[in-house]
Amino acid sequence: MLPLNIRPGTSADVPVIFSLIRALAEYEGLSQAVVGCEAALREHLFGECPYAETLLAEWKGQVVGFALFFPNYSTFLTQPGIYLEDLFILPDYRRQGIGTALLQAVAQLAVQRGAGRFEWSVLDWNESAIAFYQKMGAQVLPDWRICRVAGEALDHLGAACQ
């Protein structure tokens, strides 16, 4: 029996998922950006209208990593896709094939669901992640930049129509 198990997250996993989100934020130097809570995460992952899904990586029965993803859509392909919001493995468990297994599991779901693409973002300073993703067959798109409107700017933009 392999020490690694990949499985869907459940409502009971919300505390460990949230702790992994905090660990990811700390790794990225963004701890102050985690302003959400477990209750909201539970509702958004397992409530009446789920917005995202998770896969958890268990190493010898302990959750040591996760992938959080959700559907998107490509108008050019006229096909659904999957966007990977987060992929994180606790530092002590890296280089064990866990990240590879999580990426493969999400890619398998994308294929099963008829997705035309599977995509995500990576911080430009994270050279080890970029090399890992390229080794897995991903293209890093140099001409694209992420645009984000949040907080007061989102409130202002949303109110502009009224």
Catalytic option among 73, 83, 93, 133? 133
Q: Is 51 among the residues known to form the active site?
A: no
Beta bridge partners of 84: 69, 120
Question: What are the catalytic residues?
Answer: 133
